Amino acid sequence: MPGFQSSLARADSLVDNAASTNGSRTCGLIMERDSAVVAFGLGANRLLKLASRDLAELSTTKLEATGGDYGFTANPNRDTIYLADGKGNSPGEVGTIKVISSMTLAQIDSITISIAVRHIAVSPDGSTLAASGGGTSGEAIVVVNLQEKSSRILPATTSLGSIAFSPDGAFIYGIGLGKTVDGKGTLGARVFRVNVATLEVTDVIAFEPSTPTIQGLAITSQFAYTFLGGSSAKPGYLVQVNLADGKVSKRLELSVADFSFSYARFRISPDGSFLYATAWDQLLKINLASFQVVARVKIPDQIYCLDIASSGEFALVTTWNSIRNIRRVNLTASEVPTLAIDAPSALLVNGEPLNALATSDSGLEVALTSLTPKMCIISNGRLRPVAVGECVVQATHPNESGWASTSLEKRIVISRSQMGVKSAISTLSLALNAGAGRVDRASVTASVDQRSRAVCRIVKKTLTASAKGQCRISINGRTASNKKFSKSMTIRVSD
């Protein structure tokens, strides 16, 4: 299944490039054909223009700092950027939306607005701008005719979230966050629409008053997509709402780990087949036909902004606080996941079962099984040795979510609890030969820990014991691909 891949453990190796704003908070992201513009710094007081493929810095400019809230978007041609200054929260204060050339980063105009703007959207034909937010005059949506520079204001009875235009530009869709404007009452989360011509408001769907927070909004000609947030005890879910009848037509319930939304950002792929969604530190790719997560990438920081290239080949994301906080994610590359098995390399027969865990950098569940059930058994994530010899366990990654199927084996030496010198030598031989097909056997060496030299020694590759006690041995070598590896084992010498 095609999709993008990235690593939970090695994000930088799968994120093609990363750039820095020196740890400053990134506040907005707009991608053009060959470049991208990022607003960052305290109060979005700087703009940075980058080459979108290699993230090389092209230019930067300093702006007057915005207030605590802001909106940031561009017109459909991506040649004009709109950045709200966030002002309007104090009595007598007037807010402004800066109009900026994406080519030069110079401010070319401004729009006076009566609210402190949190969200901005521009109609598909570029003629109308909508802004939502609040301030001393209350929550409202302001609709601006960009050609005539005239505006109309629509007061709201609920606190407002994201807004978006319909593909034909006839409606503005928005989400009500479920609280009254004064924050004291509960109305229930909702998706509503505003007729641009008349400013008539109708609910598309009103959720139950007990519905948790609503985050993010994406609109197609038929559907609205939004996320109803959960809690640490109950997962949230993504819903597809039919715009014609206002009913939830599809629902995707996810784990808290998948969808911990603080700054939900949604983008529809250029071909309309996929929805990209940010979920804390993950970027998820959701197939809109099956309504399932088909791929994900984990970034080592909270994702703040997202935009998709018009080609659909890659995305840019900005993150909250990390040093390398602008990242390019390849959306079409494939990669075999990296597996790991967390289990000891040596066990005592009939000893206490120990935890055994297999993990993958894809984040998907990995099956761990015993290939030698006469030697060891795995049950409920616990490994139990049952006979002396070599236990082989295998981790298997499923062929799903855009990841290739792969497997990894680990060999575990199982010895008796009371071990003499001959048994110890046999056990060491097993350990040295474990995984012989994957290592350069000539490079393998074994040495006795200094603390064990009163108990045992290795002379000319022969283990000898001189006293009872714990014999600690380190085994080192190189794999067939010339990578170093190191293992350790402890042998109990009793006769």
Domain closes at, from 394, 417, 440:
417
- pLDDT of the residue at 440: 63
428 in a domain, yes or no?
Answer: yes
Q: Is 369 exposed, middle or buried (0-12, 13-18, 19+ CB in 10 A)?
A: middle
* Beta-carbon contacts of residue 61 (< 8 Å; ≥ 6 apart): 46, 47, 105, 106
Could you tell me the pLDDT band of residue 490, with boundaries at 50, 70 and 90? Answer: confident
Distance of alpha carbon 414 from alpha carbon 317, whole angstroms:
48
Tokens of 157: 């009875």
**Predicted local distance difference test score (pLDDT) of residue 396:** 85
Could you give the CA distance from residue 21 to residue 39 in angstroms, rounded to a whole number? Answer: 10
* Per-residue pLDDT, 303: 82
Residue 183 has pLDDT above 60, yes or no: no
Q: Rounded to 5 degrees, what angle do the CA atoms 322, 22, 133 make?
A: 75
- Domain boundary residue among 377, 394, 417? 417
pLDDT digits 0-9 by tens, 7-16: 222 233 234 4
Where is pLDDT greater, at 87 or 384?
384
Cβ–Cβ < 8 Å for 84, 100 = no
Arithmetic mean of pLDDT over the chain: 77
Predicted confidence (pLDDT) per residue in 57-113, tens digit: 888 888 776 655 568 899 999 999 999 887 877 776 778 899 999 999 999 999 998
CA dist 440 → 352, 449, 480, 483, 493 (Å) = 33, 23, 5, 10, 29
Residue 477 is assigned to a structural domain of this protein: yes
**Cα–Cα nearest to 410, from 440, 473, 368:** 368
Asked if 38 and 104 sit in the same domain, the reply is yes
In a domain, residue 1? The reply is: no
Among residues 342, 357, 339, the alpha carbon closest in space to that of 403 is found at 339
In this structure, are 142 and 234 located in the same domain? yes
| 242 and 287 co-located in one domain | yes
Domain range for 446: 418-495
Both 101 and 160 in one domain: the answer is: yes
Q: In the chain, what is the greatest distance between 2 CA atoms, to the nearest angstrom?
A: 97
**Least confident range of 30-39, 171-180, 231-240, 395-404:** 395-404
pLDDT for position 244: 94
Q: How far apart are CA 10 and CA 298, in angstroms?
A: 9
pLDDT for res 420: 44
Describe the chain by its helix, strand, coil percentages, rounded to 5.
Answer: 5, 50, 45
**Residues 102, 206 within the same domain:** yes
Q: Which two tokens stand for residue 137?
A: 């005059």
Q: Say whether both 350 and 234 belong to one domain.
A: no
pLDDT tens column, 229-283: 765 556 678 899 999 999 999 998 775 444 454 567 899 998 999 999 887 777 8
The segment with the largest mean pLDDT, out of 198-207, 307-316, 351-360, 437-446, is 198-207
- The total number of structural domains in the chain stands at 3
396: domain CATH number is 2.60.40.1080
pLDDT at position 419 is: 44
Q: Tokens for 199?
A: 């400013």
H or E segment and range at residue 266: strand 266-268
Show the tokens assigned to 410: 């680990």
Query: Three-class SS of residue 451?
Result: helix
pLDDT band at 457 (very low <50, low <70, confident <90, very high): confident
Q: What is the mean pLDDT of residues 113-121?
A: 88
Region 163-186 average pLDDT: 80
**Once rounded to an integer, what is the mean pLDDT over residues 147-157?**
91
In percent, how much of the chain has pLDDT > 90? Answer: 25
Q: What integer pLDDT is reported at residue 3 of this predicted model? A: 38
Q: Does residue 494 lie within any of the structural domains?
A: yes
Distances (CA, A) of 481 to 13, 80, 227, 353, 440: 19, 51, 46, 34, 9
CATH number of the CATH domain containing 444: 2.60.40
Based on the fold, state whether residues 378 and 430 are members of the same structural domain. no
Residue 378 — very low, low, confident or very high, per pLDDT cuts 50/70/90?
Answer: very high
Task: Give the pLDDT band (50/70/90) at residue 321.
Answer: low
User: Is residue 174 scored above 50 in pLDDT?
Assistant: yes
